[in-house]
A and B are shown apart, each in its own frame.
Chain A
Amino acid sequence: MESFLSRYRNLIVLLVLLLLQVIGLAVQVRKPVVVAGGTPSPGRDKEDGKGVRLIRLWAADLVTPFERAVHGSSQGVSGFWGNYLDLRHTKEENKNLQQTIDRLRLEQASLLEDARQGHRLQEMLKFQQNYIYKTAAAQVIGTSGSSQSHVLYLDKGAEDGLERDMAVITGDGIVGKVRAVFPHAAQVLMINDQTSGAGVVLETTRTRGILRGDEAGRPQVINILADQRIQQGEHVLTAGGDQVFPRGLPVGVVESVVRDPERSGFIDIRVKPAADLQRLDEVLVILSMQPHLSSQQQADLATSEEVMGAEAAADAERKKAAAEMEERLPGLKDPNAPDAPKKPAPGAVNADGTPVVVPTPKPLPAKHLDRFSPGVRSEDLPQPSDGGGTNAPAKPDAPKTPKPKPQNPGTGAQ
């Protein structure tokens, strides 16, 4: 027995290691327990088990402090050099301006989408401005290091208020969602990963789909019914139904439309992401989707309301002046003409409770009757002449008029 163990020691160790890892894999990929009342959505995936989470925590704790140090030192060196060469205050001001631009872009995107929907559903929905979010800025300090796993690590974690399934964005567009949270770091699953899923909608055609990455890390909207209207350059926005990303945030533009290789009649839409996913430094994590107005935003909103109020007042003044002018000027209408019959409102009823019947306008009589004309029987129509000639039917109800005699009788029908 001893000789067997010593002889095959290497192989036994290899098999034990492989077996342990295979068992670990089997435990991890077992079917998830369905939580009562839980609704599956494309943006959510199942949470890691305790053991797996522990390994991830160890790996993150092992690597992220060094990544943070490397990132900090590289930024420090480049920052020092930049500040030495350029003007420090200019750089800081530029940073503040960039933050302001990012914030305004976010607000603008939200307001634009709301305005679009407001135009479509103006009479049914009340406009409600609820797209100003509470966010936290975070630095990207690392990646997963695997080309099959598009994951980022942020320098903020649970102690900074980050939670699982929070949306991560930049001023340009969405980046991904928080997948795992550690005390001082967080793992973000990017939108170009094969296992990600974000509900999106095409801006013009309003086609909805799920965004995920392909094998090359390019985001694409999958399982879309072939639609000729979808064109290159169309904007893609978040649909808001995945419980992760708020509605109306920019995702990217349609880069190309390709046929689904597995399903005929379906297409995949490759999307050029609005955010530069390869070069991310600072991102925003949406901590809360509830309205949260900072003092600056409140001031902006007050200014906006004042401007809108002034515009509304001016508009009312113009309408009032136009009405007065209309009264003073001679009208084009004939005052003696009888009033046009009023159309009953849809759903109106008579005094006895019967619905008001709207008289259907009769069509004008046809100039040339044929067998398709309403109320005309085939025997009423004249038979075509034997000698060929025209097939046009005669007018049965038309007043008979004497036919003009041909000028040259010799050329008439024989």
Chain B
Amino acid sequence: MQAIIPDYRRDLEIRRYPPYVYVLVPLVALVLQAWLPRLLGRYAYMDLPVLVTVYFALNRRSPIHGSVLGALLGMAQDGLTHGAIGIHGIANTICGFLAASVGIRIVVENNIIRMLLNFVFSLTAGAIVLFVTRILLGLHMQVDWLDEVLHAVGNAGIGLILFPILDLTQSRD
């Protein structure tokens, strides 16, 4: 419990990144998300745009920043699919907002906490996509929940490696 609740000012500091990181990292995430399934086929269990949204939202600790980044990344993700623009946008917006809200309240340095958060937010994004598609749009879309869980597990695993690498890019005051 001591590790989760922030005790020091250092734990709640807002991390800042050079502007190019905000451009390059989401772009690389989009490109890899579109390109890697060619190599991995159906085993491409990952959702890199959600991962990047959650990372910046957790570390910036700004719900507005997280929501806007999530919306932009999600809409770009939608632009690459053949579905309506906004399905992943809404999912990533909510995930960004929630991740930033969580980041304000708990310490997110711990790898296990990061892994758990990635797992939960990936599943949340999948559930929101399903809600928007089925309820808001009234489209008939079947979902393989095992597939969604595997995506969440994949995201949690990738986050363990990716987050420490992205930590290296933050600006030092």
Contacts and interface: CB of A to CB of B under 8 A. Distances in A.
A238 interface: no
Contact of A145 (B34, B68, B101): B34
A148 interface: yes
A3 interface: no
A215 B31 contact: no
B35 A215 contact: no
Interface in B53-102: 63-64, 67-68, 71, 75-90, 93-94, 97, 101
Interface string A66-107: 110011000000000000000000000000000000000000
B158 interface: no
B82 A189 contact: yes
Contacts of B138: 29
B27 to A, nearest CB: 7
Given A14-B67, A29-B84, A194-B142, A62 B27 contact: yes
Contact of A148 (B30, B83, B140): B83
B67 A17 contact: yes
Interface string A179-207: 11000000101000111000000000000
Contacts of A214: 142
Interface string A189-233: 100011100000000000000000011110000000000000000
B46 to A, nearest CB: 9
A299 B136 CA distance: 58
Interface stretch (B8-16, B36-44, B109-117): B36-44
A24 B90 CA distance: 11
B79 A56 contact: yes
Contact of B79 (A18, A55, A71, A179): A55
B144 A67 contact: no
B42 A278 contact: yes
Contact of B144 (A29, A187, A216, A278): A216
Interface in B109-149: 129, 132-133, 136-144, 147
A10 interface: yes
Given A148-B129, A151-B81, A214-B142, A13 B86 contact: no
Interface stretch (A136-144, A357-365, A368-376, A394-402): A136-144
Q: Chain B CB within 10 Å — which of A24, A28, A143, A193 has the most?
A: A143
A287 to B, nearest CB: 21
B64 A215 contact: no
Given A25-B84, A29-B84, A144-B80, A217 B89 contact: no
A24 B38 contact: no
Contact of A18 (B33, B49, B93): B93
B82 A18 contact: no
B142 A63 contact: no
Nearest to A193: B82
Q: Chain A CB within 10 Å — which of B37, B75, B139 has the most?
A: B37
A29 B138 CA distance: 9
Q: Chain A CB within 10 Å — which of B44, B83, B144 has the most?
A: B83
B82 A22 contact: no
A147 B151 contact: yes
A60 B79 contact: yes
Nearest to B84: A28
A176 to B, nearest CB: 10
The B contact surface, by secondary structure, is: helix
Interface residues of A, number: 50
Interface in A40-60: 52, 55-56, 58-60
Nearest to B64: A13
B80 A145 contact: yes
A368 to B, nearest CB: 65
A21 B90 contact: yes
Contacts of A194: 140-142
A143 B34 CA distance: 5
Contacts of A148: 81, 83, 129, 133, 141, 143
Contacts of A14: 63, 67, 93-94, 97
Interface string A122-147: 00000000000000000011111111
A268 to B, nearest CB: 12
A25 to B, nearest CB: 5
B87 A143 contact: no
A292 interface: no
A142 B80 CA distance: 10
B82 A144 contact: yes
A189 B80 CA distance: 11
A62 B80 CA distance: 10
A144 B30 CA distance: 10
Contacts of B37: 143, 145
Nearest to B48: A145
A144 B42 CA distance: 13
B38 A142 contact: yes
A214 B137 CA distance: 19
Interface of A: 9-10, 13-14, 17-18, 21-22, 24-25, 28-29, 52, 55-56, 58-60, 62-63, 66-67, 70-71, 140-149, 151, 153, 179-180, 187, 189, 193-195, 214-217, 278-280
8 contacts: A10-B97, A18-B94, A22-B136, A29-B138, A56-B79, A67-B31, A189-B82, A194-B141
